[in-house]
Every structure is written in C-alpha cells, then in structure tokens.
Amino acid sequence: MCLHVAAYRLQEDPPAGISGAPTEDNILVWHALIFGPQDTPFEDGTFKVVLEFSEEYPNKPPNVRFLSKMFHPNGIIYADGSVCLDILQNRWSPTYDAAAILTSIQSLLDEPNPNSPANSLAAQLYQENRREYDKRVQNIVEQSWVHFSESQPSGARKPPEAEEEEEANRQSTSRPEDDADQNSIMNNVNRVVLVLSGKGGVGKSTIATQLALRLSQDKRVGILDADLCGPSVPKLLGLQGKQVHQSSGGWVPVYTDSSKRLAVMSIGFLLSNEDDAVIWRGPKKNAMIKDFVNSVAWESLDYLIVDAPPGTSDEHISIVEVFSNLRSSGAVLVTTPQAVSMDDVRREITFCSKANIPVIGLIENMSGYVCPHCSECTNIFSSGSGEQLCSYAGIPFLGRLPIDPKLSEAMELGQSYCLLNPDSEVALLLSHISEKLDLMQNHETSNT
C-alpha cells in the first residue's frame, strides 16, 4: 500500500526535475528520471535510475543505482552505478518515499566530496583539473540523452572489455537495439506527417497544432514538437506548466483532455522554466529527437504530426533517419507570400526530394488580412507566388490562409479554431488536408 501511495504522489505532484513510476509488472521495481540541477556541470542531463524495494519497505530502504553512465567523485555513486547515501543506510527513516530519495540524489550531484571518493579519477580531476572534470561530466550529460538497453540485472558488474564495448556503442549514432526499440514503440503509429517551413515565423506551429486538433475530431492523433529551440506547441495547445511522467513503457505524453484523442510531446514539458533557452550542439539535439521517438509511450495513433524546426539542419536529418522505416504520409509545407520566404521554401522542397519525402502540398499562410469588422480580406504582401511556386515545382497547392484575428485568439486559448469557426477558410483548408490524408491512406491500404 505504501508504494502505491508513493507512486500516486510522485506522478500527481512530482518534485522539479524528478519523474518516476513502478514497472508495469512489479510494484517493487521503479524506473525514474533525474534531471541535472541547473547551474551545475550536470545541467541538461537526464539520468535514468532504478529503485528496487523489498517486501520490508518502508522499514528497510531500497537498493538504488544509476542506469545512465555517471562520473562523480562522491562516495555516493560507484562505478557500477550503485548509490550509497546515508539516508539509504544508517540515517534511513520509514518516512522517506521515492520522491525524497530521488530529490536527495539530485541535490548531491553538485556537492562533490573528493576526500571520500568512490571514483578516484573523478576526485583527482575535480581537485586538480576542473576543466577536464567538467569536460568528462559534459560527456556523460550528452550520453544521458542517448537511448540504451535497461536489461542489465541489478548489481551486475561487467568485465573491462565489455564496458569498453558498451561505451563504444553509446557513442554510436545508430545501433541495432535502437532500431528494435523504435520499431516496437512506433508500431503504435499508423502514419507520420511532417510540417515543414523554410524559415521561422511563417505559422508552421500554428498549422501543425490546428491540423492535429482537426484530425483528432475523429482520429487518435499525436503531435511531436521537434522544434527544440522554439518549443511553442505547449502554449498553442494551452498546456503550459504540464509535465511528462516516466512509466515502465517510457515517457507518458501529455493529453489535451480526458478523451486522450490528442497526445503531445515537447521539450517544453521538460524545462524547469518556460523562459529557459535550449542551447545545444547538433549531436545533443539529434540524441534528443531519437529519444523522443524511442522512449515516448505513444498509444495507438492514426497520425503523428511532427512540428519540425524551420529550415534544413542536423535535426531534419535525424528526423528523416528515425522515421525512415515507418509509414509516412509525407510533408505539409508552410510559407508566406514574401519573396524571401518563397526562396527558403524552395530549398525545403529540394530537401524533401533528396530525402524521398512525399510532399502532400504547400500552404500559403498570412495571405491577406481579414478585417474583424467587415470580414473583407486585403492583401498585405504579394499574392499568387505560392501557387506559382507549386506549379513550377510540380507539387500540390493546398490553399491560402489570411491573417485572421480570431485564429490568434483561439491559439492563445489553446482551442480548436475549426470547431469554433467550422465555415472559415482555415477550417475548410484543414478539412481538405484531413480528407487528402485519409484518401492517401486508403489508397495505400488497397494496394497492399
């Protein structure tokens, strides 16, 4: 009973930077995530921990060990990942629950005690070469984002040659076990739709979220916010302040309502402060995107909408790689009528061609302004350039969307504009895209 109560408390009111839950088949074994404390060398790290309780809990403490690789001089973390805290030994109290244990470990990550080292190399570097110590810690922080096998039994120690091989595997950008995990988790996803733009500020995320809301009226849909440096999906869906939780099956996405027809995953849910900037190098972004695919427990989805970053970058290559073996309906491109935006979306079309991504069509957004009083639409920029580009590139033109203050109001409230304004141009266009996706899926099904 104590563990069931602890699980409920941890998932309903998790401490900042802590997430965890019992495994599906054993209440005594918990998997948890500890986010590295801010303003420490461990910041941005996501460290996986396992807690193994006994039948004597709460009178006896659990065994705790890191599944993630750890580099720390304290006597709390040993080479095999096992944790030795005083609260888990002579200072144990039956009042300590999983949240208290995980919070204690998190707080101790930045309190090295090199005079009582479990890792002599870490202690020496911390005292004599802080720059190298920070470099080693940064390395394990980056590795913490890479998916790895959790099948090693508790307390097992590996021979040096096996540890070297495992280290090489962690450094690898593509591993067979990643593919296996990806296939098992993403088997729940029927189709993937990418929403792309050549540049930022053209309304890509607005289109992605409103398309997801429209599809979720009669489908089960997920939306993956892959724009790591500009995660706006939580705000556009009214989900600010929500947190993802760790379960035995992976990260549990955030749902927009109790129907669970729209599941959402974004790095915005992992930031302790919505004003925090994500300042990462390419490899770290790539690892995060792969972890989103490999470690999110999506339930059965008809469509997964991926809100990609603007332009073409390392993240786009990672997105193509991780979804290469999955059924993809293609990409929806978003642009505005300005010449500079058209130039950028041309490069996006070339990217889709080289990456073998079918283009569902192009939307010309912000094409005119709808007066809130008389509903007359006035062109602000040049008109017709989107349709001309589609004719030249040989891709479908999906339509034009004007600047509509009502759409902005709906987005601020996290509401579906299509439900509020079913006869609007936005609603008709998104319904057209939804019908086109269904036709594509039915055509593929009839040919298999």
- CATH code: domain 178-446 is 3.40.50.300
What's the confidence (pLDDT) of residue 187? 73
What's the confidence (pLDDT) of residue 207? 92
What's the confidence (pLDDT) of residue 429? 86
Cα atoms found within 13 Å of the Cα of residue 230, Cβ hemisphere only? 13
Are 370 and 404 contacting, i.e. CB atoms less than 8 angstroms apart? yes
Q: Which residues face 26 on adjacent strands?
A: 23
How far apart CA 284 and CA 143 sit, in angstroms, is 8
Domain assignments of the chain as residue spans, ordered by start: 2-171, 178-446
Two tokens, residue 76: 């709390």
CA 290 to the chain's CA centroid: 9
Shortest CA distance to 142 belongs to which of 130, 150, 134?
A: 134
What's the confidence (pLDDT) of residue 327? 63
Q: Which residues face 192 on adjacent strands?
A: 304, 328
Are 293 and 174 contacting, i.e. CB atoms less than 8 angstroms apart? no
What's the confidence (pLDDT) of residue 266? 92
What's the confidence (pLDDT) of residue 156? 34
Enter the pTM of the model.
0.65
Two tokens, residue 372: 């809130």
Shortest CA distance to 412 belongs to which of 255, 201, 230, 235?
A: 235
For residue 47, give the 3-state DSSP assignment: strand
**What are the average pLDDT values for consecutive 10-residue runs of the chain, which has 448 residues?**
73 79 85 85 85 89 86 65 74 86 83 67 82 86 60 35 41 44 65 90 91 92 91 91 76 89 90 71 77 83 92 83 73 89 89 90 86 75 82 90 83 84 84 82 60
How far apart CA 344 and CA 310 sit, in angstroms, is 10
How far apart CA 332 and CA 362 sit, in angstroms, is 6
How far apart CA 129 and CA 215 sit, in angstroms, is 55
Residue type at 134 in one-letter notation: D
End-to-end CA, the chain: 50
- CATH code: domain 2-171 is 3.10.110.10
Strands (E), 336-423: 359-364, 369-370, 377-378, 397-400
What's the confidence (pLDDT) of residue 233? 93
Two tokens, residue 445: 């099904």
For residue 358, give the 3-state DSSP assignment: coil
Hunting for tokens 């193994």 — which residue is that?
A: 52
Are 108 and 74 contacting, i.e. CB atoms less than 8 angstroms apart? yes
Measured in degrees and rounded to the nearest 5, phi and psi for residue 146 equal: -85, 130
Q: Which residues face 333 on adjacent strands?
A: 196, 362
Shortest CA distance to 210 belongs to which of 417, 20, 402, 429?
A: 417
Largest distance between two CA atoms of the chain:
76
Q: Which of 2, 84, 352, 418 is an active site residue?
A: 84
374 is catalytic: no
